[in-house]
């Protein structure tokens, strides 16, 4: 957590990435590429571009000592599991850390995929200036990410239990109305009805399912309460929730997964990062734009899309629509509901970038 009480980590803006990389190459002639794993790490050290001068295979404890004993160097890691932990550790020991996206490193791995080849691929990928590093996430960011992931996992489990209960009862001729809120009360009724006609073993199992669903709901509400408490310490969340269609979950997820919005030069770069801009297939003088790319973080894009869908439905019921609502309804009338939802999600993302970067709240304006 920074000095202002926020949960946003400090990272290098994208516009300065290449300059920072050149400075790193000058200040840190030694580059250490690490293919991390659960227990065994493959380490490749390079003192000259394109040449590996030393290779080692280390355990977790040995790797930590290796980082502590080395002079400050440039450490390359793939942005995968545990990479942010090791990145923070290396930074605390005085090293410069660059996390590279795994999908961008893979083309630089020649022939068979091995730990040695992966480490060499990291060295080669680091020389490609078109590959932008992933910022090392702070402990506070990963705390928010952990809460979101736990909530998503429990919601998926709850949905599975609800569907299981519905499917079992349907086989015995009992149909529950649409809506999750109807399932547990119906299970309670069946449990207390001696004339339900259901076999006793099935009634016992349905009772267990109802109890599990209630426990999962308590856990979900507990996580949401913790997210709300953490959001109150983060000024960025307060500004983000002022944007139509963005609530507590979307705002805290943006802070957790994105970090510092200053690394995006424009709102379009931010929307592209989240996969909400069109795919392009152009040649010569002909420019072709298709559907949204759907690249980037799937969870963030899902939250923004659902938020846009809710904002679009709210716009239809508004007595005095705002300029944004009027624009969204016009898109819907000409292009359809789904395309209007994607367009509004893109617009929301750009607005979020503006209020986040400008440290101001969004102001709704009534259409004239």
Whether 300 has a pLDDT exceeding 70, the answer reads yes
Position 366 confidence tier, pLDDT thresholds 50, 70, 90: confident
Residue 157 half-sphere exposure toward CB, CA atoms < 13 A: 16
pLDDT for 16 = 39
Q: Give the model confidence (pLDDT) of 82-119 as tens digits.
A: 999 999 999 999 999 999 999 999 999 988 899 999 99
pLDDT at residue 107 in the model: 93
Report d(CA 343, CA 353) in Å as an integer.
Answer: 16
| pLDDT tens-place string over residues 111-163 | 889 999 999 999 999 999 999 999 999 999 999 999 999 999 999 999 999 99
Q: Is the pLDDT of residue 4 over 50?
A: no
Binning pLDDT at 50, 70 and 90, where does residue 20 land? very low
Rounded to 5°, the CA angle 200-205-210 comes to 125
| Strand order, beta sheet including 54-59 | 54-59, 40-46, 31-35, 74-78, 96-100
Beta-bridge partners for 22: none
How sure is the predictor about 3, in pLDDT bands with cuts at 50, 70 and 90? very low
pLDDT at residue 19 is higher than 90: no
Tokens, residue 157 = 């489990």
β-pairing verdict for 54-59 and 40-46: antiparallel
pLDDT of residue 193: 86
- CA distances to 58, 106, 124, 156, 170 from 120, in Å: 16, 11, 6, 39, 57
Mean per-residue pLDDT over the chain, rounded? 90
Q: Is the pLDDT of residue 25 over 60?
A: no
Joined tokens for residue 203: 């009634």
pLDDT above 90: residue 227: yes
Rounded Cα gap, residues 137 and 149, in angstroms: 16
Structure tokens at 184: 């547990």
Q: What is the pLDDT of residue 195?
A: 83
Judged against a pLDDT cut of 60, whether residue 49 lies above it is answered with yes
Note the pTM of the prediction, 2 decimals: 0.84
pLDDT of residue 72: 93
pLDDT of residue 12: 35
* Strand 74-78, strand 31-35: pairing: parallel
Considering only residues 66 and 21, tell me which one the structure prediction assigns the higher pLDDT.
Answer: 66
Over range 329-354, report the average pLDDT.
96
pLDDT of residue 34: 96
pLDDT at 223 over 80: yes
Q: Kind and range of the H or E element at 42?
A: strand 40-46
- What's the pLDDT tens digit per position in 250-279? 999 999 999 889 999 999 999 999 999 999
Classify 32 as helix, strand or coil.
Answer: strand
Is residue 341 pLDDT above 90, yes or no?
Answer: yes
């Amino acid at each position: 957590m920074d000095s202002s009480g926020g949960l946003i980590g400090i990272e290098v803006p994208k516009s300065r990435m290449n300059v920072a990389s050149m400075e790193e190459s000058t200040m840190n002639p030694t580059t250490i590429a690490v293919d991390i794993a659960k227990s065994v790490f493959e380490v490749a050290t390079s003192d000259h571009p394109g040449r590996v001068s030393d290779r080692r295979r280390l355990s977790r404890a040995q790797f930590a000592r290796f980082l502590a004993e080395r002079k400050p160097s440039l450490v390359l890691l793939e942005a995968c599991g545990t990479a942010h932990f090791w990145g923070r550790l290396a930074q605390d020991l005085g090293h410069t850390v660059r996390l590279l996206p795994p999908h961008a490193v893979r083309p630089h791995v020649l022939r068979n995929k091995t730990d040695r080849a992966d480490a060499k691929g990291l060295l080669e990928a680091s020389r490609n200036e078109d590959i932008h590093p992933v910022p090392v996430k702070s402990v506070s960011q990963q705390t928010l990410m952990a809460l979101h992931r736990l909530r998503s996992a429990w919601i998926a489990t709850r949905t599975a239990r609800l569907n299981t209960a519905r499917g079992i009862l349907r086989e015995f001729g009992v149909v529950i109305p649409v809506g999750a809120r109807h399932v547990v009360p119906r299970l309670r009724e069946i449990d207390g009805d001696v004339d339900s006609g259901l076999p006793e073993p099935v009634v016992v199992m349905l009772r267990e399912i109802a109890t599990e669903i209630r426990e999962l709901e308590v856990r979900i509400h507990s996580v949401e309460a913790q997210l709300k408490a953490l959001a109150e310490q983060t000024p960025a969340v307060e500004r983000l929730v002022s944007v139509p269609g963005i609530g507590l979950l979307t705002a805290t997820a943006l802070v957790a997964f994105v970090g510092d919005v200053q690394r995006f030069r424009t709102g379009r770069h931010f929307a592209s990062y989240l996969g909400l801009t069109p795919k392009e297939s152009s040649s010569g003088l002909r420019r072709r734009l298709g559907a949204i790319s759907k690249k980037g973080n799937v969870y963030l894009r899902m939250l923004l899309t659902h938020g846009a869908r809710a904002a679009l439905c709210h716009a239809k019921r508004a007595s005095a629509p705002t300029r944004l609502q009027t624009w969204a309804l016009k898109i819907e009338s000409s292009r359809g509901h789904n395309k209007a939802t994607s367009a509004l999600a893109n617009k929301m993302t750009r607005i979020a970038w503006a209020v986040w970067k400008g440290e101001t709240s969004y102001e709704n304006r009534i259409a004239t």
